[in-house]
Amino acid sequence: MLFGKELTMKLSFKYMLYSLFYISSLLLILPQTVCAQENPAGIGYTYKIIKPKNQIGNAGYFDLRMTPEQKQTVEIEFYNMTDKELSVDLSVNSAKTNSNGVIEYGPTKLKNDPSLVYDMKNIIEVPKKVTLQPKETKNIPVNITMPKEQFDGYISGGIYLQKTETNEEKKADEAEKGVVNKYAFIVGMLLSETDVKVQPELVFNKINAGVTNYRNAFLTNFSNTKATYVEGMTVDVQIFKKGSDEVLYESKKENYRMAPNSAITFPVNLNGESFVAGNYVGHILVTAGDKKWEWQEEFEVTQKEAEKYNAQDVSLVQDRGISWKIIVMIVVGVLGTLLVIYLIIHRISNNKVKKAKKRRRKR
């Protein structure tokens, strides 16, 4: 009986050791992931633009031929699909270009470029909020006031539409863990006065160390200073140590776009590496069709900047915060402790077996 118990204990302990080793291996191998449940609230409404006579083409947005100082009111039709009252928030924004070469017509933290003379916010006026009764259809005015001076090219932007959150929805969002998806519409607005084709003109602004998406990157900023779009743009940026011909980092992207009178900040990622203080050279080549812009600029990464951005890079912080050596030491320590416990139990069991044999001999 004692031998049977001892065998069972050995098998159970071996199973426990194997299980612990398997779990530890998974801990060391599997990447860390964060999951969030989606719980989208229904949009609840539809819209359509009412195209005026000065609409150009058949696009699904406003593309209007205007004149200097012209005042015009166009309309957007809203329909509440639900059986409850709902409201829609509206805002006007000028078009901007994000770091992925995508044009944004909605709210953004991107700043206006200094070359932007006519901000859409100063030309278009809409109600801040529209309230719709159940199943109601309502036309909302969009008031346009054109600048006094005639211009060539485009004034570009959009009207942002988003359902107003109810108190219940706000509480649900606050209670939700992870990413909360919110849905919105963009009504594009393109204003022009002439058929003159404006050619893009790109101007270099700066290149510097920084962080994008919480990771180290060299950031190149340049502007499209004309009131026209840049289409099919290819951007190629190479980073060198000053005095060296060796390319340290490079990023090349194709099919980028730029909005009229907007800037782009193009990142060259360090791919998990730390910034090193020193003098660098950036070579920037931008092409679009038969047009080409090229710059070569020297810049410095100071020790203070390197330390600042290295501390903000989450990949570096994780490397410093999660030491795999420490994890291995902990796993080894746990396994060692379990091995010691096993040896102690094994020794006690052997002693009991020996004592039992002695008692049987005496009998």
The CATH number that applies at residue 134 is 2.60.40.10
Q: What is the pLDDT along the chain (363 residues), one digit of tens a residue?
A: 333 333 334 444 444 444 444 334 333 333 332 232 333 456 899 999 999 999 999 999 999 999 999 999 999 999 999 999 999 999 999 999 999 999 999 999 999 999 999 999 999 999 999 999 999 999 999 999 999 999 999 999 999 999 998 777 776 766 666 666 778 999 999 999 999 999 999 999 999 999 999 999 999 999 999 999 999 999 999 999 999 999 999 999 999 999 999 999 999 999 999 999 999 999 999 999 999 999 999 999 999 999 999 999 998 865 544 455 556 677 777 887 887 787 788 677 776 666 666 666 555
Q: Are residues 171 and 214 in the same domain?
A: no
Looking at 149, 166, 192, the residue that finishes a domain is 192
| Residue-range definition of the domain harbouring residue 63 | 51-192
Looking at 192, 226, 247, the residue that finishes a domain is 192
Residue 119 belongs to some domain of the structure: yes
Q: Are residues 239 and 174 in the same domain?
A: no
Q: Are residues 161 and 262 in the same domain?
A: no
| Residues with Cβ within 8 Å of residue 276, at least 6 apart in sequence | 301, 306
Nearest to 290, CA basis, from 250, 230, 236, 238: 230
pLDDT score for 342: 73
Residue 104 belongs to some domain of the structure: yes
Q: Are residues 327 and 206 in the same domain?
A: no
In which element (H, E) is residue 10 found?
helix 2-29
Residue 30 belongs to some domain of the structure: no
Looking at 128, 158, 192, the residue that finishes a domain is 192
Q: Are residues 340 and 262 in the same domain?
A: no
Q: Are residues 311 and 353 in the same domain?
A: no
Q: Are residues 165 and 130 in the same domain?
A: yes
pLDDT score for 40: 40
Residue 45 belongs to some domain of the structure: no
Q: Are residues 110 and 21 in the same domain?
A: no
Q: Are residues 246 and 228 in the same domain?
A: yes
- Token pair, residue 254, equals 């194709």
Residue 33 belongs to some domain of the structure: no
Q: Are residues 14 and 56 in the same domain?
A: no
Q: Are residues 340 and 278 in the same domain?
A: no
pLDDT score for 177: 63
Q: Are residues 77 and 184 in the same domain?
A: yes
Number of independent structural domains in the chain: 3
d(CA 302, CA 246): 21
Residue 43 belongs to some domain of the structure: no
Residue 82 belongs to some domain of the structure: yes
Residue 31 belongs to some domain of the structure: no
Q: In the beta sheet, which residues pair with residue 238? A: 250, 283
